[in-house]
């Protein structure tokens, strides 16, 4: 009895060991497949998907930098889609069922598992090895599918149960894998755009814009600045436009025919052409481009034509002036025989000269008035484009040959910008304007007369007492009375520093009347006389003043300067204090 018990114990141990070895073998096989899938995904260089439902073969290939579709079209692969594919393949749940050789002994065939000759197949190419997965029918619990797996380094094939994720990755359409846009160049990497419209084989019109030092400009059909914000908006529309569908490649495509719009994009050291043609049957544009040496046709929404339309006017810079005082040497405004010229002497020191057919005048200019003029001109924008590179007949037709105003700007580098301005169109606020540097006739909605009819007096230096530090005394007299009050401007308790810097806000007339002045049709008599004196009484500067007529109005005049003016608001406020202090009301 003893020996049979020992024999039974030994038999059980051997059986358990055999079962353990078989289980370990199954675990190794499962672990080996998952490991190989992870390894394959990490080292993929080619993917083939034969889709029985769509009756198409999809082939993806990896080059040195990226993944591309090479069949049935030639197109870059969407990185996010590929990343999702890789993650799902690496995390497939796999369970080995049977070797194919044992199916016959089980009374089964491959079709019992839904595996047919035309079943969907997925081939993973990795470092010279191939894992082929043929997808069959769903399992009874519908959580998995039966699959036939064959590895190129093994002779045997086996039936596996694989999670349903394999269906999602193997049955995605070509358009799902493809990058959804057709311009695959970063927006800020684009340096040039060339757009060509063709009406027939012999006639075409082209628009060419180029970026240099982060500034966009037109190269053709004219030389002019482009509006950077509008160009970037258009570029964003271009790179965001999605493909509606891909078309079957045609071997007989003539690259020089079958297009009426051609877009060339240059950047990153390469040039890429895109061809478009209206589709009469559907609201789409037929398009094509070369990728990896293969012509790929596709379709996009016809609304894309709006993005490509009217670049010559839509992208053109509508701001006429871009004046910076540090870059300007002179500004000349002419109307008939009269002209006002502003010239820079040094950094912030300018002169103003005014001339007509008989006489001329020159004086120091007020920098702030000139800066204000530049700011005003910088706000002028083109309303409508009328003619590019106009002929002499067009110049005459639009009245450019006889302008009402002419503005000539001379830059510090001696280059010039000349603007000719004609009478408003039909008495409206639109002015016909010619930009000589751009050879362009346009309309401008701007009150030109308001700023261009200003006399040289407007730009004259506003400081009335130029050597004010030399004057330490001031006498203020009420003209109709005998009361004269004196004050010492250097004493702290009676210092009115603003008054010492006696400044005008604007000049009313370039003449003086001892009795008063006409201002906007009203007679304003003088009431006070203010006399600045030097300490040794050798020099005097005398001004006649009205009484204060408003919050910002107090008029004055100078016989020495031959001017009538309105005082600066700071001077007005201080003069009010002074009148009250001296009790001269």
In this structure, are 442 and 333 located in the same domain?
yes
Taking alpha carbons only, the member of 503, 485, 498, 470 closest to residue 584 is: 485
d(CA 556, CA 564): 6
pTM > 0.85? no
Question: What confidence tier does 26 reach under pLDDT thresholds 50, 70, 90?
Answer: very low
Confidence of residue 356 (pLDDT cuts 50, 70, 90): confident
Residue-number span of the structural domain to which 337 is assigned: 325-455
410 and 290 belong to one structural domain? no
Q: Which helix (H) or strand (E) holds 443?
A: strand 440-445
Q: Is residue 9 part of a domain?
A: no
What's the rounded mean pLDDT across residues 65-88? 93
- Report pLDDT digits (tens) over 242-287: 999 998 776 555 555 678 899 999 999 999 999 999 877 677 889 9
281 with 301, same domain: the answer is: yes
Residue 47 in contact with residue 124, Cβ under 8 Å?
Answer: yes
State residue 117's pLDDT score.
Answer: 85
Which secondary structure element, helix H or strand E, spans residue 17, and what is its range? helix 2-42
Range with top average pLDDT, 13-22, 168-177, 229-238, 486-495? 229-238
Q: What is the pLDDT of residue 443?
A: 92
Mean pLDDT across 69-94: 92
Does 22 have pLDDT greater than 80? no
Answer whether residue 319 is part of any domain: no
Give the per-residue pLDDT at 257. Answer: 64
Mean pLDDT of the chain: 85
CATH number at residue 577: 2.60.40
User: Are residue 28 and residue 170 in the same domain, yes or no?
Assistant: yes
Helix, strand and coil percent figures for the chain, each rounded to 5: 25, 40, 30
**Residue 482 counted as domain residue:** yes
- How confident is the model over 341-351, as a mean pLDDT? 92
Number of domains observed in the structure of the chain? 4
Q: Can you give the pLDDT at residue 484?
A: 64
User: pLDDT tens across 470-483, in order?
Assistant: 677 777 888 876 66
- Asked if pLDDT for residue 375 goes beyond 90, the answer is yes
The predicted model gives 118-132 an average pLDDT of 91
In a domain, 8, yes or no: no
Burial class of residue 72 in the structure, from the number of CB atoms within 10 Å of its CB (0-12 exposed, 13-18 middle, 19+ buried): middle
- Are 37 and 163 in a shared domain? yes
Q: Is the pLDDT of residue 492 over 60?
A: no
Question: At 316, is the pLDDT very low, low, confident or very high (cuts 50, 70, 90)?
Answer: very high
> Is 182 part of any domain?
no
Q: Which of 455, 473, 501 is the last residue of a domain?
A: 455
- 28 pLDDT band, cuts 50/70/90, is very low
The verdict on 26 and 109 lying in the same domain is yes
Confidence band (pLDDT; 50, 70, 90) for 19?
very low
User: Does residue 394 lie in a domain region?
Assistant: yes
Residue 368: pLDDT above 70? yes
Least confident of 100-109, 468-477, 554-563: 468-477
Q: How many CA atoms lie within 13 A of 222 on its CB side?
A: 20
Residues 416, 466: one domain? Answer: no
Max avg pLDDT among 7-21, 455-469, 527-541, 551-565: 551-565
Q: How far apart, in Å, do the first and last CA atoms of the chain sit?
A: 145
> Which of 428, 455, 482 is the last residue before a domain boundary?
455
pLDDT attached to residue 11: 45
Average pLDDT of the residues in 158-182:
91
Question: pLDDT band at residue 376, thresholds of 50, 70 and 90?
Answer: very high
> Do 335 and 429 share a domain, yes or no?
yes
In a domain, 506, yes or no: yes
pLDDT band at 175 (very low <50, low <70, confident <90, very high): very high
Q: How far apart are CA 485 and CA 284, in angstroms?
A: 88
Q: Confidence class of residue 297 from pLDDT cuts 50, 70 and 90? A: very high
pLDDT confidence tier of residue 425, bands split at 50, 70 and 90: low
Residues 443 and 491 in one domain: no
Query: Is the pLDDT assigned to residue 105 strictly greater than 90?
Result: no
Top pLDDT among 474 and 454 is at 454
Per DSSP, which regions of 105-236 are E strands? 121-126, 129-138, 144-151, 157-163, 190-200, 203-212, 215-220, 224-225
Residue 570 has pLDDT above 90, yes or no: no
Does residue 7 lie within any of the structural domains?
no
In this predicted structure, the answer to whether residue 504 has a pLDDT above a threshold of 90 is yes
Query: Do 331 and 467 reside in the same domain of the chain?
Result: no
Least reliable range by pLDDT among 141-150, 191-200, 536-545, 552-561: 536-545
Task: Mark which of 153, 177, 201 sits at the end of a domain.
Answer: 177
Q: What are the residues whose beta carbons fall under 8 Å from the beta carbon of 260, sequence distance 6 or more? A: 197, 198, 199, 276, 277, 278
pLDDT at 21 over 70: no
Q: 147 with 264, same domain?
A: no
Q: Is the pLDDT of residue 319 over 90?
A: yes
| Of 45-59, 224-238, 297-311, 493-507, the least confident | 493-507
Do residue 472 and residue 404 come from a single domain?
no
């Amino acid at each position: 009895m003893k020996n049979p018990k020992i024999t039974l114990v030994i038999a059980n141990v051997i059986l358990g060991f055999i079962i353990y070895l078989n289980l370990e073998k199954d675990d190794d096989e499962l672990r080996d497949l998952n490991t190989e899938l992870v390894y394959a995904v990490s080292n993929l260089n080619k993917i083939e998907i034969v889709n029985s439902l769509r009756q198409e073969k999809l082939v993806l290939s990896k080059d040195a930098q990226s993944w591309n579709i090479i069949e049935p079209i030639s197109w870059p692969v969407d990185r996010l889609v590929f990343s999702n594919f890789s993650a799902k393949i690496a995390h497939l749940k796999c369970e080995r069922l049977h070797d194919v050789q044992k199916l016959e002994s089980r009374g089964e065939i491959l079709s019992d598992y839904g595996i047919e000759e035309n079943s969907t197949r997925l081939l993973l190419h990795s470092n010279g090895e191939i894992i082929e997965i043929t997808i069959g029918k769903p399992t009874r619990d519908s959580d998995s599918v039966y699959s036939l797996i064959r590895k190129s380094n093994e002779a045997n094939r086996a039936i596996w149960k694989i999670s349903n994720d394999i269906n999602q990755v193997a049955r995605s359409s070509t358009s799902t894998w493809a990058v959804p846009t057709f311009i695959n160049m970063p927006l800020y990497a684009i340096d040039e755009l060339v757009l060509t419209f063709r009406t027939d084989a012999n006639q075409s019109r082209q628009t060419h814009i180029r970026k240099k030092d982060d500034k966009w400009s037109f190269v053709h059909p004219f030389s002019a600045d482009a509006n950077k914000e509008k160009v970037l908006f258009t570029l964003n529309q271009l790179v965001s436009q999605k493909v509606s569908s891909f078309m079957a490649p045609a071997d007989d495509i003539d690259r020089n025919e079958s297009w009426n719009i051609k877009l060339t994009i240059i950047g990153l050291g390469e040039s890429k052409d895109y061809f478009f043609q209206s589709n009469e049957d559907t609201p789409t544009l037929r398009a094509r481009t070369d990728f990896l040496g293969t012509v790929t046709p596709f379709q996009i929404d016809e609304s894309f034509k709006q993005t490509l339309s009217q670049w010559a006017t839509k992208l053109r810079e509508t701001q006429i002036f871009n004046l910076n005082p540090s870059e300007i040497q002179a500004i000349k405004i002419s109307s008939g025989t009269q002209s006002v010229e502003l010239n820079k002497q040094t950094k912030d020191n300018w002169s103003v000269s005014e001339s007509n057919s008989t006489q001329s005048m020159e004086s120091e200019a007020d920098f702030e008035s000139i800066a204000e003029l530049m700011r005003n001109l910088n706000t002028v924008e083109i309303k409508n484009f009328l003619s590019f590179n106009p002929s002499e007949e067009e110049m005459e037709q639009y009245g450019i040959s006889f302008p009402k105003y002419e503005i000539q700007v001379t830059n510090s580098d001696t280059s010039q910008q000349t603007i000719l301005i004609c009478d408003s169109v039909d008495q409206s606020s639109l002015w016909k304007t010619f930009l000589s540097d751009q050879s362009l006739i346009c309309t401008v909605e701007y009150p030109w007369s308001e700023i261009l009819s200003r006399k040289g007096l407007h730009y004259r230096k506003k400081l009335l007492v130029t050597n004010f530090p030399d004057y330490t005394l001031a006498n203020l007299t009420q003209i109709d009375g005998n009361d004269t009050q004196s004050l010492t401007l250097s004493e702290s308790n009676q210092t009115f520093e603003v008054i010492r810097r006696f400044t005008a806000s604007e000049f009313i007339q370039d003449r003086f009347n001892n009795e008063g002045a006409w201002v906007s049709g009203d007679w304003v008599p003088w009431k006070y006389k203010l006399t600045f004196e030097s300490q040794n009484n050798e020099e005097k500067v005398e001004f006649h003043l009205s009484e204060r007529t408003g919050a910002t109005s107090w008029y004055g005049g100078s016989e020495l300067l031959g001017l009538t003016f309105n005082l600066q608001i700071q001077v007005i406020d201080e003069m009010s204090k002074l009148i009250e202090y001296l009790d001269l009301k």
